[in-house]
Amino acid sequence: MLDRLARLRRLFGLALPLTLAGCTQIAYGIAIPFLYSEVELAEAQVVRDVAYRDDPAADPRKHRLDLFLPTGTQGSNGTGWPLLVFVHGGGWTSGDKSLRVGGADVYGNIGRFFAARGVGAAVISYRLQPEVAWRDQVDDVERAVAWLRENIAAWGGDGHAIFLSGHSAGAQLATWVALAPAAPPVCGLIAVSGAGFDLADEQTYALGQSRGYYEARFGRGSPGGAWTEYASAVRLARPDVPPALILYGEDEPRSLQRQAHVLDDALRAQGAESRVVVVPGQTHTSIVLTLSRADRTATPAMLEFIRSVTRSSRC
């Protein structure tokens, strides 16, 4: 049994380049039979394909989100339930809120999990590179958060109790929006297996990340060609940014583990609240499937983070 688990962990590790490059269906297809557990939620509690942008420049395929609603209308603070906004991964070039692999609804299952536990969820799509630049993707996430702040009360949620989360490339976009001073404010950041928080960190490249890979994604849209500095979310760290929960799998590449700690260090250095959680036995690919599992490390940590921040009235 131990040999079988070790082989699976090596397979998930090999799937990392595929995931970052956008071949998420191959990577998740390997992991799903062993980690995916379908969460039940009444279809009446799901609202699909809601447009968060409807101006003439809106993309009818991508400027959409799915809502997963708890039962009842009130959260513990009496103003509505908190909302988790989840940004999918895919190397900035692929992915969608509705990703299905082998019958598994990868991101929707995360939404159902949290809604079943009293936390609303919005899983969003956003435009992809190379059709747009990375700053356009940040803008999409900002627009989704702004729309939800204004509109989630209609479904029973609290527009001031929004927690922004994402996996891989989605974690980088979520971090940019959570830390940017001009972006719509959020209560907390939950970054899962994020990449590219500090694009100027030479040790990350020495540990195996490709500078060319990131230059192709962040060189366009960065003024003056200074993409390593301009596109790095760590430069946005300030004392007044929202509290952060940063998670990664213990079997992820050391380069991505380092990026998690670089972000944590940058936030702490500014006096901001930040915590790192290492998820046992998980890789960059498999960890996202545990975000809908109550018996794994990640989701209990996320739920406690949301409840703690909400109870403290920091929203």
Hey, which residues does 100 pair with through a beta bridge? 105
Give me the pLDDT at residue 25, please.
Answer: 56
User: What's the confidence (pLDDT) of residue 15?
Assistant: 39
- Residue range 2-311 forms a domain whose CATH class is alpha beta
Q: How far apart are the first and last CA of the chain?
A: 46
> What pTM does this model have?
0.91
Residue boundaries of the structural domains of the chain: 2-311
Kindly list the distances between the CA atom of residue 95 and the CA atoms of 72, 125, 140, 214, 220, in Å, as whole numbers in the listed order.
32, 8, 14, 18, 20
Give every CB contact of residue 248 below 8 A, 6+ residues apart in sequence.
192, 193, 194, 256, 257, 260, 276, 278, 279, 284, 287
Cis peptide before 130 (omega within 30 of 0): yes
| Cα gap 183→177, rounded to integer Å | 6
pLDDT of residue 29: 61
Q: What is the predicted pLDDT for the residue at 14?
A: 34
Give pLDDT < 50 ranges for the chain.
1-23, 75-76
The two most distant CA atoms of the chain are separated, in Å, by 56
